[in-house]
Structure 1
Amino acid sequence: MSSFYAVRRLCLVLGLHHSGYYQWLKRPKSLRTRQDERQTGLIKQLWLESGTVYGYRKIWLDMKDLGECVGRNRIARLMRLAELASQTGYRKRRYYDGGKPSFASPNYLERQFVVPTPNTHWVSDMTYSVPGVQGEHGRSNEPRVCLEY
């Protein structure tokens, strides 16, 4: 912000004295900030050794093996701040052979649903669905085709 606006003006807006800002700049880094910087370097090293694949859970396990006392949430926060993300979707997808193609009966009606007399054309429908799946809720046995005569 100080590259866009004058420090004195920003401090005036915030109700602070400008000398406090400069004292804050000269203040030594806190213990937590120093630990975060050290652990961020270690996290980045472990992440690169994994081939940029590991996420915070596996990095946490590796750091535990190294004897570091750090929590998973802290590792997740440090990885997010360092813009380190686990690689997803890197496994090769397995495609299985579907076997023989299913047998389809010939289409005798050919979408001609108007029949001259009753009991000359019969239509059936095989539905393989579980009630409650895909919003059916047990209505999957309702007829799909109605023949008019």
Structure 2
Amino acid sequence: MAGRGVLPSVGRAGGCCGSALAESFNAILKKELVNRGVHSTRNHAIRDVTARTESRCNHRRLHSAIDHRTPDQADTEWRQQHKTAARNQPSTTT
């Protein structure tokens, strides 16, 4: 998977907290915005969902849990590390 640029899941199968936060966030978003609204086009719906998500997530606040960096900085660094690791792995061809 890494050789093809696919990032693995963050959780493990059967983990009690695997995707509970993401599922909760998506359920609330769907209930409050998608199911209660009427959108003229798919692009209009995507813009509404993106605007709602961007307004709720603070991308500038520094978090102590991630070494006093912003979520965007931590995400960018994590992605760069995984890209580098994937490139440095020896390719296995069968």
Give the TM-score category using the shorter length. 0.3 to 0.5
Give 1 or 2: higher helix fraction: 2
Higher relative contact order, chain-length normalized (CA < 8 Å, sep 6+): 2
TM-score, normalised to structure 1, is 0.23
TM-score, normalised to structure 2, is 0.33
